[in-house]
Structure 1
Amino acid sequence: MLTSGQLQHIVKHSMAYGYLLSQPFSFYVDAYPLHQNEVFEQTDSNLTYGQHNEAVRVLQQKLNYLSYYTKDIDGTFGLYTEHALKQFQKEQSLKPNGQANQETIVAIIKTERNRYLAPLKTIDRTYTIGETGDGIKSIQRALYYFGYYKDSIDGIFGPKTNEALYYFQVDHDLDVKQEINHQVVTALTEKQEEVKPPTVKTTKNQETTQQTTNDQTIHVAQKKAEQETYQSDQLIATAKQYVGTSYAWGGTSPSGFDCSGYINYVFNELGVSIPRTVSDIWNSAQPIEQLSIGDLVFFETYKKGPSHMGIYLGNHNFIHASESKGVSIASMDIDYWQQRYLGAKRIVVEK
């Protein structure tokens, strides 16, 4: 993981990206494996036989890539999906109950990640434009996994691979060169993501009251009777304390955050309890006419509607928990965030 506080994000800079944005969610989630994990993050319960949804479809696709599932990827959790899941669980020394619980999903994510990134360890030379080889295939797969490359894995260091490489180098403050060198390989292999089940944080001596804003409910937890609101400077200072914290699927504590878990934790530190998921926070918060420091900024990433968020810092910057860089600061002027920006809202605590 690179130095904290840099302008980081997962960029989808392939030539196919503009096309992907116009497609339905079922098409989009096929594009980049790392972003598929966000679908699991939004799932409140285990995936089990009989269900039909996007999370099941992602589960099938990952099991297919890992060579456990060979049937149609249709989002229906049937007998073949259950059988494939049991086979995976057995080989991972998990309870083979055929249910995709948190432990199983974490194992799937880790196994898939290793499958994409492990081959990078065998690269011991520099490749330049025009060269071919298995090492270039490994780089293409890794860039695809992280959302930079969306073309055929052909082992040819051509314009498409060079374009993906360029944006990866720019986004990670690497020397921009038209070559696959040790610096690039190291940056890819060090992009580690801690994956763990969600944790529930409880805070003592908090009294919860309820307010309604625009027909939505928001809960306000007060550590002290006089602490009925928060200041934006306090919010920003608290948020910045966790810069550099790693990303963790389902994470809600400083040992690892997902995007909404991070926002939830920061507000909770100020005595304000907000909903857990991005969509619920969007529905609960108050619409605003003018963006101010401390407001929440929302983005449409892997599906229609709000699916990612951060806290606005001013000067077109925001702080968030990124899957690729953990808690970090990013610029809203970057093309990716501009294209996906939905709007801003504010958490208002009334006395």
Structure 2
Amino acid sequence: MLQDQISRVVKHSVAYSFAFSQPFAFYVDAYPLMQNEVLEQSNMLQFGMQHESVRMLQHKLQKLSYYDSSIDGEFGVLTEYALTKFQQEHLLEQNGKANEKTVKAIINEEEEYYENLLQQHELTFSMGDRGEDVKEVQEALFYFGYYRANIDGIYGEKSNEAIEAYKQDTGEEIHHIEAEIHEKTVEAPQVASVEVTEQESNEKSDETNQEEAEANKETPVKKENTSTSKSSVSASQIISSAKEHIGTPYRWGGTSTSGFDCSGYLQYVYNQLDVNLPRTVSEIWNATKHIDQPSVGDLVFFETYKPGPSHAGIYLGDGKFIHAGESNGVEISELNVSYWSERYLGAKRVSLH
């Protein structure tokens, strides 16, 4: 994982090669991830040594709450004690020395610490937002080399750019799946789901018509004796399938019942009815038909962490929609809540087959 992170720093910073010639303060204040590279290339650090690598070791142990003394670069009793405590809690040989296994374990825990910060927070801030949540996200993005400004707890352009870069990188291996468009897809009737179309009124008197028979055969719902449109039945099936997954946790890149991201959730729900959707929100936006007002089963889109559609859900009616949110996983939310109403882009209709 370290090499992946180093490559991201290379991608997002022109000062990478310059970093290795700098003193400890530079690593801490500008490129903390470079400490990992230095520590991994160091020989065993042990009692009595004095070196810049010891400063880096002390800094990491302090961040992980094992070391609470001064960062002076001297491997003394307190540094040895902190290392021994870390080794004990991680089932390593308790020798108080920073050998290869111990250094890797420290680096892994630090990486997990910052990764958890990013996973715990919903990365959908608005310009001008302030608070500890923003600060923690800035710190984590700073560690991974995305954020290169003051860690001040104020969400601005630099913070937004950092989040966009982070999401692009973490999604590169996930969002490469291209949607397979079904050749027999037909466009859904452009009427509200509660209305009865003229075609549907004639169905009972024209059941021998081959084209109608094929359409009915392809529709993945059972025909009922009530005057309900095919899109209404399909919508009810979509909603039923969508609600089955309420409470499923959010997982970036998730496409299964063990965890969904917002587009993975939509794709999964519709695929259960043999309707193919593209993998990303922007692709779904482009592949669906604009409508002025959503009906039950239509998609609603929002502009969150970047310009354009970046989040979406399924409209349930009564101003509510179901979606995979980063905070609570699959849940039902209301469109008139300020967060969503301010970010609402519009509604789209999926072509059914």
TM-score range, shorter chain: 0.3 to 0.5
Tell me which protein shows more helix as a share of its residues: 2
Specify which structure has the higher proportion of strand.
1
Structure showing greater relative contact order (alpha-carbon pairs closer than 8 Å, 6 or more residues apart) = 1
TM-score (norm 2): 0.44
Structure 1 or 2, whichever has the larger Rg, is 2
